[in-house]
Amino acid sequence: MRDFAALYAELDGATGTADKVRAMVGYFQVASARDAAWATHILAGGKLARLVRSGDLREWLVAASGHPPWLVEETYAHVGDLAETITLMRSAAPAVDDDPLGLADWIEQRLLPLKGLLPAEQGALIRAWWLALPDGECFVLNKLLTGALRVGVSQRLLVRALAALSGLPRERVAHRLTGSFEPTAAAWQALIDPLADDAPAADQPYPFFLASPLEARPDTLGAAADWLLEWKWDGIRAQLIRRAGGVHLWSRGEERLGGRFPEIETAARALPEGCVLDGEILGWQSGAPLPFARLQTRIGRRKPGAKTLADCPVVFMAYDLLEVEGEDWRTRPLAERRARLEALLSGTEDKLRVSPAWYADDWATLAAQRAQSRERGVEGLMLKRLASPYRVGRARGDWWKWKIDPLTIDAVLVYAQPGHGRRANLYTDYTFALWDGERLVPVAKAYSGLDDAEINRLDRWIRAHTIERFGPVRSVEPVQVFELAFEGVQASGRHKSGVAVRFPRILRWRSDKPAAEADHLGALKALAG
């Protein structure tokens, strides 16, 4: 645990990606295979199953620290992170860790067995650990217990470190790491062994190729004839795998989707063995995509019932072929992959479709196509170079997102609450409202779009102009106006405003505009149809 806590501290304090990669390589070079496997699992975003309740942790902190419950709650509200709050408030701890257990032993011998204990038994053990561990190790322990161990390491950075350690190409490391990496010594050795078999397991997806946003004019990309154009669908990016007699669905976030879309899995059984498709799961009805809000009703249901299936029918809109007859096709040009995909899906059920594509000799024609996006329920166009292979991650140059301009509103700031991690002491999470007659109705929450100077200035203003406090939340004088951008808006019975906006974010602080001139709720509802 000591070595992993030191790595966590080094990663948390590093500002450059090269420093983070160097720190991970240094850790993996000396860690045991079991410790390295668990560290890889955690850094890749893996979590332990919920072992204890956060409410119990706060109760045990009251007992361990001798502080009254109100002080623990106030401190937690101020700090914004339970793991840090516990580390700060527990009783005095040793400066040096004398516990010889490594990360794997801590997890397997101590943390995982907590699941089978009563809360009183859990509390006795955890309080003892709090008293025995120095600050760094105690902090990481609490992060593991709360499931909130985020340290600014992306999957891409982890792959860079593992590639540097093993000498393998990043693409091979990324492929080996994609899917269900088991935190075992054997899995770790296979991950970094140059001679290990790279044949995918029956249910293993490939690393996703991600498009970059197109911020320049499309004609800067060269001849329009070199590109394939598709709609930018607003669904769930997924890979559909047909191997070894089974069907598997994986989301872009490497989450198994098995059982949630049974109609797609049933249709996929008509595909030949050794086949992997890349595409989008869409709510689909009457020949058009359904709003993403409708699709959300299906995401959390592992075994959807008949009513759910009927309320939001779905299709798999395929736009790439990664494997066919057990052969990896990713290095072949898109034009070849696309032709084979169209032949493969001709005659399949309508639950498996090929995403429509366009080809043109001039960008003006394609721009006219893009102008139809919003009325068709899509986000714009995808631009894909016909000669491109299927790459790994966000490799720039071959795939671009040519999205339509976002919808915007001018809204009034009404609530604010602290952020998390390094921004736990700043008010960075905001709630915005629109006018409905003479009252303001909250319509959106946003926390991105301001730079550091603006965040600090707004934080000072919020503290000086608070009207009421509700725990960590403050209501503020309704005078500050902000322009918000969002991708779409739908009618919603779950929201007080009657509408739900998709991906709201702050475009700019409208200090030039009085609150009375902010937009009205009716205008937003009109956009929802």
C-beta pairs of 97-102 under 8 Å, 24+ apart in sequence: 97/1, 97/2, 97/5, 97/133, 97/134, 97/137, 99/1, 99/2, 99/132, 99/133, 99/137, 101/1, 102/1, 102/3, 102/4, 102/31, 102/32, 102/34, 102/35
Length of the chain: 529
How many other CB atoms are there within 10 angstroms of residue 425's CB atom? 12
Q: Where are the beta strands (DSSP E) in 232-350?
A: 236-243, 246-251, 275-285, 288-289, 314-324, 327-328
Q: Which residues are bridge partners to 211 per DSSP?
A: none
Q: Where are the beta strands (DSSP E) in 252-355?
A: 275-285, 288-289, 314-324, 327-328, 352-354
What's the gap between Cα 212 and its chain centre? 16
SS (H, E, C) 366-421: HHHHHCCCHHHCCCEEEEEECCCCCCCECCCCCEEEEECCCEEEEEEEEEEEECCH
Residue with tokens 């006018």: 435
- Strands 227-231 and 380-385 come out as antiparallel
Cite the DSSP H helix spans in 167-246: 170-177, 185-192
Q: What are phi and psi of 9, to 5 degrees?
A: -65, -40
Q: In the structure encoding, which two tokens stand for residue 138, read together?
A: 């105690």
How buried is residue 109: exposed, middle or buried, by Cβ count under 10 Å (0-12/13-18/19+)?
exposed
Asked if 271 and 264 touch (Cβ cutoff 8 Å), the reply is no
Asked if 433 and 414 touch (Cβ cutoff 8 Å), the reply is yes
Which residues are identified as catalytic?
Answer: 232
The Cα 134–Cα 408 span in angstroms is: 49
3-state secondary structure of 97: coil
The Cα 37–Cα 105 span in angstroms is: 12
- Strands 427-436 and 407-418 come out as antiparallel
Q: Which residues are bridge partners to 385 per DSSP?
A: 227
Which candidate, 309, 339, 312, places its Cα nearest to that of 324? 339
> Amino acid identity of 377?
G
Q: Which residues are bridge partners to 433 per DSSP?
A: 412, 442
Q: In the structure encoding, which two tokens stand for residue 93, read together?
A: 């701890």
The Cα 170–Cα 226 span in angstroms is: 28
> Amino acid identity of 474?
R
Q: In the structure encoding, which two tokens stand for residue 261, read together?
A: 């879309």
* CA distances for 43 relative to 10, 11, 20, 245, 407, angstroms: 13, 11, 12, 33, 36
